[in-house]
Structures are given as C-alpha cells and as structure tokens.
Amino acid sequence: MANFRAHLTGGALISGVAAFASYGEGLSSSAETQALFVLGTAASLLPDIDADDSTPVRALFNSVGIMLGFILAFRIDDLVPMEVAVLEQIAVWIAVSLFVAFPLRWGFARLTVHRGVWHTLLMAIVLALATTVAADLWLAVEPLLAWLAGGFVLLGYLTHLTLDEIASVDLLGRRVKRSFGTALKPLSLRAWPWSLLLIGLAVLLIGLTPDPAPLLAGVGQLGLSTEPLTAHWPRW
C-alpha cells in the first residue's frame, strides 16, 4: 500500500491538473478552483480513515472536533435562554474537540476494518454524491459548482484507491502482493450489511442531487447526447 506522502503527492497532482482544467474551461472562478483543489486533495487521504491510528485519521478527527466544537459553542446562545459567558463557550469548544478527537475516534476505529468498506468504489460514489447534495442544500451554491465539488471528491478518492492497487504490484520482483484487489473493489462482501446500507444511501442521494444539466452541457459540446439524463433525472 502507498504511504501517506505518496497519497498526498498523488492526490495534489491529480487534483491540481483537474483544477487548472476546470479554471481553463471557465467552469470555476479563481477562489472556487482553489477550494476544489483542496477538496480533491483532502479526499485523496480519506480512504485511510479506517486505519486505526493513521495520520489522516488523527488529522480528520482533530480538525472536525475543533470546527464542530467552535460552531456548537456559538450555537449555545440560541439553545440556552440565559446569557452564556465567553469562558463557558470556550469550555464547550474544548470539551467537544476532545470528545471527537479521542472517544469518538476510538469508537470509530473499533467499528471499522482497514481495507474494508472504505476502500470500495461504492463508498467513493456515496461520498461524492453526499458532497454534491451538501453543497447544493446546505451551502446553496450553484448546481455546477456542487457537481464539481462532488466530482473532485470522487477524483481524489479514486486516486487513493488506484495508488494502493499500483503499490500492490511489485514490478521489480514480478509478483503480486497479497493486498492486491483489496483497495479498488466495487464493494465489500465481508461487510455486506454496510454495503447494502451504502447502496440504499446512494439511491437516496441521487434523488437529492441538483439538476446535472449545467455539468452535462460541457459533455454535450463533445458531441455526446445528454438529453436522456436531464429529461429523466430522478430528483425527489
């Protein structure tokens, strides 16, 4: 399996090329292009979240804990009728950050297996769709940018899985390692309950995605017909 540096470098290179292409074609502004690059690079590290104590896992849970704690600290003013002091807000911020960084991370590690459901094409698709829906419904961005965000997550995620499979082949020794086929697989049969859940979630998310017409317009310029997709898009 490729190491952290290889995944970070590979994800940054692929996301950078895609970001420049998006900017060059006028699909994203300068600020949006930079955000897409960061999103794709971050997604290229995400599959290793199922490693019990890897660098991406610690960084992800630490970052999420800090951001979530900060948001909740300011939400207290709306939830609690009495006035909340700044020191109490800071205490909530620290408490939530520590909870996510340690107990929640440890619990997640016990529920996941490395090279399991997180190293599947199914998970890549679900996370890409979830990003598209979140960008559309929560951030209220334009449909084109929402689809681009989901596309960069998918690109970064697939970059990670592909690098893991490449690292499973020893070209000099002319042999295939035992880990071959455990990263770039459609779904996890061992974790079949999770796979079924992800399939159902994918169907639900497809129905929540925005109109893909702006994104497919570029494809139409290549001479490919996209009318059947836009005419029957299954949004709930």
Q: Is 120 helix (H, G, I), strand (E, B) or coil?
A: strand
Residue 174: per-residue pLDDT: 47
Residue 78: per-residue pLDDT: 66
Q: Over the stretch 59-89, which tens digit does the pLDDT of each residue have? A: 777 887 888 888 788 777 666 655 667 788 8
Residue 149: per-residue pLDDT: 96
Distance CA 212, CA 230 (A): 7
CA distances from 71 to 35, 39, 82 (A): 21, 21, 18
> How open is the CA angle 179-161-17, to the nearest 5 degrees?
145
pLDDT in tens, the chain (236 residues): 567 788 889 999 999 999 999 999 889 999 999 999 999 998 998 887 766 666 667 777 788 788 888 878 877 766 665 566 778 888 888 999 998 888 887 776 666 555 668 889 999 999 999 999 999 998 889 999 999 999 999 999 999 999 888 876 443 444 445 544 556 788 887 878 889 999 999 999 999 999 888 877 755 544 545 555 555 555 55
Q: Which two tokens stand for residue 121?
A: 């094409």
Residue 115: per-residue pLDDT: 61
CB 205 within 8 A of CB 131: no
Distance CA 37, CA 127 (A): 17
Query: CB atoms < 10 A from the CB of 79, how many?
Result: 8
Q: What is the pTM of this model?
A: 0.74
Q: Is 175 helix (H, G, I), strand (E, B) or coil?
A: strand
